[in-house]
């Protein structure tokens, strides 16, 4: 699949394939036009240990998202569109600045609805001296064709696998096809990592190449969580790390709606999912302890690190 800038003409970059004329300023279902918008660029310390380590991950948060998760904690950028307009050259320079700050990697958060900009920026940054691994931090709702097209500029896939049930996916994220899409995307990610030589870890424990599959356990949805883990195990086995998260925190919308999503996750629900992951045989698994809440991991979206110079000679796109 072509992920050049002409992809914005009639957009099919995400599985919604909304055909928005983004190049003409029309917003797609992701909420974005062809104008690249970034909400934050800074060291981030709250990812899994192979991603954040001690030094921090160089996180760049993009505006917009193809999903509409009712429990989203990043709604300011995912659904409300906060972010400053930047060029490809500026995005490349942000990557270099994060490298200078000592980041373990460049962590692109929900980036693939901007795949043309992202691909061009990574290539520009590498030409200007970037040596860090590129992490694609994604909801998992991606077209396999786009995953394959981006595989030569992505080293680590930090991907969600949110749901196994189409009904749950449709109700909570407005994408009933999420399970089959996420499975196909994960298969493409696995294919790309295998082709590059498999998982590669640094001596410091940082992931240089590989896949971490994240799953957020939701209150009263343990059965679906078990089905998700079963799917991941059947497809990937121990070729991926698994991150099982307990940080669900009801936002204002969920609290107002009532029901199971109006409360935090119970400890026994979380332990049931962890026990099942262990029984399946996952060897590299990350979990969270104590009363974790997702608000603890949400940085201020205040355009930190966004404004600044561009890579010298970069194209003005």
* Confidence at residue 255, expressed as pLDDT on a 0 to 100 scale: 93
Q: Give the predicted TM-score (pTM) of the model.
A: 0.95
Q: Does the pLDDT of residue 81 top 90, yes or no? A: no
CA distance 205 to 105: 13
Q: Hey, is 199 helix, strand or coil? A: coil
Kindly list the distances between the CA atom of residue 166 and the CA atoms of 17, 75, 145, 159, 257, in Å, as whole numbers in the listed order: 18, 22, 22, 18, 21
Sorted by where each starts, the structural domains of the chain and their CATH numbers stand as 39-297 (3.20.20.70)
Residue appearing with tokens 């064709």: 145
CA distance 284 to 238: 7
CA distance 153 to 302: 28
CA angle 185, 299, 210 (to 5 degrees): 30
* Confidence at residue 297, expressed as pLDDT on a 0 to 100 scale: 65
Name 262's Cβ contacts closer than 8 Å, sequence gap at least 6. Answer: 250, 254, 255
Tens digit of each residue's pLDDT (9 = 90 or more) over 252-299 = 999 999 999 999 999 999 999 999 999 999 999 999 987 665 555 678
* Confidence at residue 123, expressed as pLDDT on a 0 to 100 scale: 98
Stretch 148-165: mean pLDDT = 98
The model's confidence at residue 315, banded by pLDDT at 50, 70 and 90, is: low
Q: Does the pLDDT of residue 78 top 70, yes or no? A: yes
**Rg (alpha carbons) of the chain, rounded to whole number:** 18
């Amino acid at each position: 699949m072509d992920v050049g800038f002409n992809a914005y003409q009639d957009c099919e970059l995400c599985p919604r394939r909304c055909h928005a004329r983004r190049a003409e300023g029309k917003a797609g279902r992701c909420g974005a036009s062809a104008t690249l918008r970034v909400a934050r660029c800074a060291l981030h310390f709250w990812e899994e240990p192979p991603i954040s380590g001690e030094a921090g991950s160089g996180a760049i948060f993009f505006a917009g998202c193809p999903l509409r998760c009712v429990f989203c904690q990043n709604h300011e950028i995912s659904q409300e569109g906060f972010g400053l307009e930047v060029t490809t050259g500026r995005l490349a320079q942000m990557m270099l600045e994060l490298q200078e700050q000592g980041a373990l990697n460049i962590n692109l958060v929900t980036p693939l609805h901007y795949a043309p900009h992202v691909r061009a920026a990574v290539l520009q940054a590498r030409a200007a001296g970037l040596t860090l691994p590129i992490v694609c931090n994604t909801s998992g709702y991606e077209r396999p064709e786009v995953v394959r097209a981006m595989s030569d500029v992505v080293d680590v896939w930090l991907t969600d696998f949110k749901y196994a049930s189409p009904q749950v996916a449709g109700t909570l994220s407005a994408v009933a096809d999420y399970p089959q899409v996420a499975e196909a995307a994960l298969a493409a990610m696995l294919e790309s990592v295998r082709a590059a030589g498999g998982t590669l870890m640094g001596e410091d424990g940082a992931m240089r190449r590989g896949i971490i599959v994240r799953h957020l356990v939701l209150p009263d949805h343990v059965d679906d969580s078990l089905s998700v883990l079963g799917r991941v195990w059947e497809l990937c086995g121990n070729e991926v790390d698994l991150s099982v998260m307990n940080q669900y925190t009801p936002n204002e919308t969920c609290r107002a709606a009532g029901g199971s999503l109006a409360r935090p996750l119970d400890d026994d629900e979380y332990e049931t999912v962890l026990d099942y992951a262990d029984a399946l045989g996952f060897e590299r698994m990350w979990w969270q302890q104590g009363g974790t809440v997702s608000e603890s991991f949400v940085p201020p979206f205040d355009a930190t690190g966004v404004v600044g110079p561009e890579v010298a000679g970069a194209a003005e796109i």
